[in-house]
Amino acid sequence: MLSLVQQPRPTVSAEETASSKDSAPPNIVLIVCDNLGYGDIEPFGSQLHRTPCLNRMAKEGRKFTHFCVTAGVCTPSRASFMTGCYSQRVGMHDNPRDGLVLRPVSPYGLHPEETTIAETLKQAEYKTAIIGKWHLGDQPSFLPTAQGFDYFFGIPYSDDMTARDNWPPLPLMHNESVIEAPADRDTLTKRYTERATEFIRQHSEEPFFLYLPHAMPGSTPHPYSSADFQGKSRNGPWGDSIEELDWSVGEILETIKAEGIAEQTLVIWTSDNGAPLAKELESPTRGSNQPLPGRGYTTAEGAFRVPTLMWWPGHIPAGTECDQLVTCMDILPTAAALAGTGLPARSIDGHDVLPLMLGDDGAQSPYDAFYYYHQDQLQAVRKGPWKLFIPLTSFSRHPYFKKGKENSLILFNVQTDFACEQNVADQHPEIVKQLLRLAEVARVDLGDTDRKGAGQRTAGHVENPTPRVKTAP
């Protein structure tokens, strides 16, 4: 039977993995926006938002048009970025208390026995920082500083989780301490950017990993931005926040260049999932996933496939595009290969995709199959260009099936049919059979509704969780 997981392998040096010009492992900057859609920036087709810095990043770097996350919502997606695993493997897809994502004062969080990308890179003596939104547990044993990060400045969960339902005011934290409550959301992007550029300058002469998970455009109906950007876009608060995020990446890249470390620094810019979209789908006020179909928070392509740019002067070929399937689970194993560390002791699902990043001739996606879960329910399977939605008798949310209706197989070629308008299941019965077999591989390993998988591990859990609040000096 096929195996989903990549087993631990011997240490591989960066020199053996990449055609690197330098012996030192590269710095890595991972920028992840919140709920930003495929069609929200100019390099991916937006004609509404002005994103000159991202345009320049695309011109100097590489665009990934089939980069997928592992969930349509933030907690499970972010768990995959950090661990290289499907969230179903590490228990961050669902729990009895919180539902789709972790809520404030949850007893659950990323298990301390899981190995994060920060812990992996610490093995190679990287300095590590997270500046932004964590959302993998707000209890002390789940916070970033307990998961491999030397430094944390940001919020522990989503910016819409403000004081209500016995939740505390939204906390802005420095390491384990709350320094502002409620956090001034208007200035989060600006302050995150200032802290990020300061971190880069401080550590420009040693290897560093900077994780910058922005809070914007976020989950509120009206995203936040600083005074310099408020009211300046052509798309209200959503556009204002997008254009400030564009400014932010420009500041990051300019700082890297000014420090003379551009050829030693890999920058990845992406989103944690697709845009939620407005109630009226034609309205751009809560983002665009065009030309992909569907809303965020689902298993549609518009939820799982996100705009992604990678930049590493002298290594990643400028002005190029990759249409092979790459996922957020690949960041950790690729970083491990670049840094010359081994993979985590526990099995992971991602792959080293450096050949695709560097544009090597003939490089292909390493995925035999990719799985689309909604919480604990397997809804779709992808292999190559083919994405199959599996018939379901019950579901809480689905981008195509209707409750109370007979729902049959749906097969799309997501390479040629970006909008997923042509169901070709009847024309490709052998492809359907193959994908159904792969679905069973996932069920055995990662589980399915009311069925536990053999490869699933548990989330972390604490008794008597406490809120993160500002204490008196």
Candidates 135, 315, 351, 461; catalytic one: 135
Residues 6+ apart with CB under 8 A from 47: none
74 assigned to active site: yes
49 assigned to active site: no
Strands 370-374, 127-131: pairing is unpaired
CA distance 373 to 382: 12
Cross-sheet strand order for the sheet of 377-383: 370-374, 377-383, 386-389, 410-413
- Given CA atoms 369, 375, 380, 384 in this order, what sign does their dihedral have? negative
DSSP string, 149-200: -SEEEE-SS-TT--S-TTPPSPPEEETTEEEESS--GGGHHHHHHHHHHHHH
Residues 6+ apart with CB under 8 A from 211: 30, 32, 117, 118, 128, 129, 130, 131, 132, 149
Q: H helices then E strands: how many in the chain?
A: 11, 18
The tokens describing 50, both together, are 């002005």
Strands 460-461, 410-413: pairing is unpaired
Strands 27-34, 265-271: pairing is parallel
Candidates 53, 68, 74, 322; catalytic one: 74
Q: For the chain, how far is it from start to end, CA to CA, in angstroms?
A: 59
- Catalytic positions, written as ranges: 74, 135
